[in-house]
Amino acid sequence: MSIVTNKLLLDNAKAGRYAVAAFNTNNLEYTQAILSAASQLRAPVIVSAAKSEVDYMGGHVFVAMVRAIAEDLPIPVAIHLDHGPDYEEAVRCLNYGFTSIMYDGSAHSLDTNISITKEVVRAARACGVPVEGEVGVIGQAADGPEGKKNDMTGIADPLECERFVKETGIDFLAAAIGNAHGIYKKKPELRFDVLEEIEKRTRVPLVLHGGTGIPEEDIRRAITMGVSKINFSTVMRKGCIETLTDTLVKNPGDWDLMKQLSPAKEKMIEIARQHIIMCMSDNKARLFE
């Protein structure tokens, strides 16, 4: 199969009551791990990059890399901009060939968020690419082992979500329902009542950010309530760095970089597999044939 738009993936997921896992990537090994896990499980998958990751890899290089690896795999893959910070970045990524764009205007007032999101939607539509918007503030649970901040406030208002979707014409909505990025300090309390109300008022596929550490039963419940895309980033980086650290400690003075990196790549494949299964998207690639 090949590179597809995220709209194709998420409309199918919503109808089939499963979610497509979206994994951020930083480099070749990371991307190979995501696509290899998805391919083994015959799962549709989204490879994402936030602006810092796009800058690190180079947008054209990132898209070419995903395309080259995905080309021969039996699964549909979307290439997504995560938390696009402004209109300009969205347009740059459309130019690179991304097949899904998120614009995150949640730091702005609702009016400003709506007006910039509308501009992004107009540009993306012209390229046949769907847009994810954000309402409420999906904060940072903890950033690294010290836990720099603990800002889990900003639950989305369902009425604001309804207005946002209606006025912007976005395709998918990331709404804050008690989820956060990073490592949760305590079990996250997802607001399923808010999720239900948002789904009822918007009817678009919903996106759950901060998937790392949300218990499996909550992930499954959210999916049955309309969540069609779940983002996982921290869990993969944590597994990669911990495994890489162990390997380096065990093999000091071994300058074979491929040998040092391989266990970390295997670990990321294992983690991606677990999360794809959690999203119930394994064996769903056949729905796209």
Question: Cβ closer to Zn ion: 80 or 209?
Answer: 209
Nearer to Zn ion, 44 or 182 (CB): 182
Cα–Cα distance for residue pair 84/186, rounded to 1 Å: 28
Rounded least distance, CB 139 to Zn ion, Å? 10
Residue 85 CB, shortest distance to Zn ion, in Å, is 12
Catalytic residue positions?
A: 82
Q: State CA 13 to chain mean position distance.
A: 14
Nearer to Zn ion, 133 or 244 (CB): 133
Return the C-alpha torsion angle 62, 65, 71, 74, nearest 10. -80
Residues that bind Zn ion (CB under 5 A): 209
Closest CA to 131 of 118, 143, 142, 121: 121
Closest CA to 59 of 22, 35, 33, 84: 84
Residue 216 CB, nearest approach to Zn ion (Å):
20
- Contact present, 22 and 229 (Cβ < 8 Å): yes
Cα gap 219→72, rounded to integer Å: 30
Q: Which residue has the CB atom at the shortest distance from Zn ion? A: 209
Residue-by-residue DSSP string for 215-278 = -HHHHHHHHHTTEEEEEE-HHHHHHHHHHHHHHHHHSTT---HHHHHHHHHHHHHHHHHHHHHH
Min separation Cβ 257 and Zn ion, Å: 31
CB of 210 to Zn ion, least distance (A): 6
Token output for 280 = 């119930």
Of 148, 176, 181, which is closest to residue 161 (Cα–Cα)? Answer: 176
Lookup result for tokens 């309402």: 135
41 versus 271: smaller Cβ distance to Zn ion: 271
Instruction: Kindly state the smallest distance separating residue 209's Cβ from Zn ion, in Å.
Output: 3
Given a contact cutoff of 8 angstroms between Cβ atoms, the answer to whether 206 and 175 are in contact is: yes
Beta strands, E only, 26-112: 45-50, 77-84, 100-103
Which residue number, 209 or 229, has a Cβ lying nearer to Zn ion? 209
Between 140 and 260, CB nearer to Zn ion? 140
